[in-house]
Amino acid sequence: MELHVIQGDISAFACDAIVVNLFEGVMRPSGGAGAVDRALDGAIFHALAAGDFSGKSGSALLLYTNGRLPATRVLVVGLGPAADFDFLAARKAAGVAVTYLKGLQGVHTAGAILNGAGIGAQDLTEMARAFALGSQLAAYQPPEYPPKEERQTLDSLTLVELNASRVAEITAGMDAGTKLAAGVRLARDLVNEPPNILVPVEFARRVQAMAADTRLSCEVLGEAEMRELGMGLILGVSQGSHQEAQLIILKHEPPGTEEQAPLVFIGKGITFDTGGISIKPSAGMDEMKTDMAGAAAVMGSMLALSTLEIPQRVFGLAICVENMPGGNAYRPGDILTNIKGKTAEILNTDAEGRLILSDCLGFVERYQPRAVIDLATLTGAIGIALGDQAAGLFSNDEDWEQQVVAAAAASGDRAWPMPMYAEYADTIKSDMAQVKNTADRMAGVSSSAKFLEHFTEGYPWAHLDIAYMALRGKGKDSSEPKGASGYGVQLLTALAAGSN
């Protein structure tokens, strides 16, 4: 879908559908919605008066103009209460509009006015950014096999702004929103792809192709290099698979940041998690193709940081491995040694995410990072704790944790701080090695975070367990398509932009 901005009057705009909006509780449409209402002989007013439409967030009302306007249809979108209107509400309203319109057979071109602009004291650039982000994320189409050639789509959406002096600011905001959306869309594509296609080598190939169009540098380590480095936990998980593991390193180093200690993002990239020898039940196992959502989010955020030219030095790592059973697979009882010579006893081969991450946490010490954050679909236990409403946040540094909390709130990628009591570390004590990879069922998410913490040294660190955020579940709003959510891209981008 193409986005445009023009100066003009929305009620004079010719297209298949125009979108106007209303705050909840407003009984008399004003501004752009008012002009449209007058042209339609009060159709919006009548819907409000009848109680059929209230401006509630997430709601929409479709009207046919019957020749009274150049546009064929009018979609009125509810913005919720004016007092609550913010970036996230504006993003959602744009998503609701595009989701509605792309479901209509006859709609290919649309026009809209900026949500809520002209009423509140909202920052125009931010509102335009929210508009572009919300609409581009709603327009997203997951990959299909074979690709549908004649898909009915909403091809273009034009923001029609009455005031010529506002067009430049709106254009800048739309550009920023579109670039961020491209990062989220990349992450969604990677997560949605089937696991036979998106094997670690293919993941790396796609990231290299993406990086070639940007100023990101891209380096890929294979298993020979990992063996050289002593990454025994990654190799242990990977040894049951015919697919070669890949460690992908993207570097965003804008001019003038060469001296900065980098921020480091690490993503879990299990391209398929069978559980290995501790094999998972077959029901729902197909969902384990999303076990690389952390890696996908890191790659998507690196694309956004690069195109948005965020003036921070940031390195993004994706560790891509397939977890399979087989004659050469690692076993419960094995003891593996990581890149730093630390040992781990394997009790359950399905607790593989923490293993591959632990080698990465040791590896990134060479960068002397300012701070590190990893994103991982690590435990089912986080779903029991928080459902699909927030990722669990764990950290060894209060200031860094607060920066993540702030980025989560600003981006709408929710994260909730969880405790890191020293006592949780007792649950992963091993008789034979320095740690074991599983504890009992109690506080399973905390023991996984303690396992990771054991392998961090010399930098502030945070961990996000995103196991139940990678897919858009039933509880999520309907302003975006089903499947991969792209969770984390917006958070990481906000984190880098706002870091200090």
Q: Which stretch binds ligand BES (CB under 6 A): 111-119, 162-170, 298-306, 372-380?
A: 372-380
Q: Is 467 in the site for ligand BES (CB under 6 A)?
A: yes
The two beta strands, 335-337 and 343-345, are antiparallel
The residue at minimum Cβ distance from Zn ion is 273
Contact call for residue 241 and ligand BES (CB under 6 A): no
Footprint (CB under 5 A) of Zn ion, residues 324-353: 353
Q: Which does 348 bind (CB under 5 to 8 A by kind): Zn ion, Mn ion, ligand BES, none?
A: ligand BES
Stretch that binds ligand BES, among 236-244, 310-318, 349-357, 412-420 (CB under 6 A): 349-357
Q: Residue 472: in which H helix or E strand, if any?
A: strand 471-472
Min separation Cβ 394 and Zn ion, Å: 17
Q: Is 374 in the site for Zn ion (CB under 5 A)?
A: no
* Residue 146 burial (CB count, 10 A): 5
Is residue 393 involved in binding Zn ion (CB under 5 A)?
A: no
Residue 273 interacts with Mn ion (CB under 5 A): yes or no: yes
Residue 183 makes contact with ligand BES by CB under 6 A: no
The least distance separating ligand BES from the CB of residue 377, rounded to whole angstroms, comes to: 4
Based on the shown chain and the rule CB under 5 A, indicate whether residue 322 belongs to the binding site for Mn ion: no
How many residues sit close enough to Mn ion to count as binding (CB under 5 A)?
3
d(CA 445, CA 380): 8
Give the 3-state secondary structure of 346-392: CCCCCCCHHHHHHHHHHHHHHHCCCEEEEEECCCCHHHHHHCCCCEE
Residue from 444, 460, 481, 486 touching ligand BES (CB under 6 A): that is 444
Residue 273 interacting with ligand BES (CB under 6 A):
yes
Interface size with ligand BES, residues (CB under 6 A): 15
- Dist CA 321 CA 233 (whole Å): 11
Q: Is residue 351 part of the contact set for ligand BES (CB under 6 A)?
A: yes
Residue 350 within binding range of Mn ion, rule CB under 5 A: yes
Q: Is residue 346 within 8 Å of 333, Cβ to Cβ?
A: yes
Q: Distance (Å, rounded) from C-alpha 91 to C-alpha 23?
A: 14
Tokens of 373: 């954050």
The SS3 assignment for 110 reads strand
28 backbone dihedrals φ, ψ, rounded to 5°: -125, 105
304 binds, among Zn ion, Mn ion, ligand BES, none (CB under 5 to 8 A by kind): none
Annotated catalytic residue 280: yes
Note whether 400 and 261 are within 8 A (CB).
Answer: no
Exactly one of 353, 392, 412, 488 binds ligand BES (CB under 6 A); which one?
A: 353
Residue in 65, 238, 438, 493 binding ligand BES, rule: CB under 6 A: 438
User: At residue 17, what is the residue type?
Assistant: A
**Residue 237 CB, nearest distance to ligand BES (Å)?**
10
Close Cβ partners of 213 (under 8 Å, ≥ 6 residues apart): none
- Residue 151 corresponds to which tokens in the numbers above? 């898909």
What 8-state DSSP symbol labels residue 459?
S
465 forms part of the interface with Mn ion (CB under 5 A)? no
CB of 34 to ligand BES, least distance (A): 48
The distance of closest approach from Cβ of residue 353 to Zn ion in the complex, given in angstroms and rounded to an integer, is 5
Taking CB under 6 A as the rule, does residue 193 contact ligand BES? no
Q: Of 287-316, which residues contact Zn ion (CB under 5 A)?
A: 291
Residues 38, 205, 280, 414: which is the catalytic one?
280
The percent of the chain in helix, strand and coil, each rounded to the nearest 5, is: 40, 20, 40
Least Å from the CB of residue 378 to Zn ion: 7
CB of 62 closer than 8 Å to CB of 73: yes
The residues facing 393 across adjacent strands are 417, 464
Is residue 354 flagged as an active site residue?
yes
Question: How near is the Cβ of 348 to Mn ion at its closest, in Å?
Answer: 8
Per CB under 5 A, the segment of 55-63, 252-260, 310-318, 349-357 that binds Mn ion is 349-357
| Cβ atoms of 306 and 357 closer than 8 Å | no
Closest CA to 457 of 403, 394, 396: 396
Question: Which of 353, 392 has the CB closer to ligand BES?
Answer: 353
Q: E strand or H helix at 133, and its extent?
A: helix 124-139
Q: Rounded distance, CA 7 to CA 164, Å? A: 6
Residues 6+ apart with CB under 8 A from 328: 239, 240
Cα separation, 159 vs 190, in Å, equals 30
CA-CA-CA-CA torsion for 294, 497, 142, 132, nearest 10 degrees?
160
Q: Name the segment binding Mn ion (CB under 5 A); options: 132-140, 208-216, 344-352, 423-431.
A: 344-352
Provide, rounded to whole angstroms, the least separation between the CB of residue 28 and Mn ion: 57
- Contact region for ligand BES (CB under 6 A) — 134-142, 210-218, 351-359, 394-402? 351-359
Q: Which residues bind ligand BES (CB under 6 A)?
A: 273, 291, 348, 350-353, 377-381, 438, 444, 467
Q: Which residues bind Zn ion (CB under 5 A)?
A: 270, 273, 291, 353
Question: Which of the residues are catalytic?
Answer: 280, 354
Q: Which residues bind Mn ion (CB under 5 A)?
A: 273, 350, 352
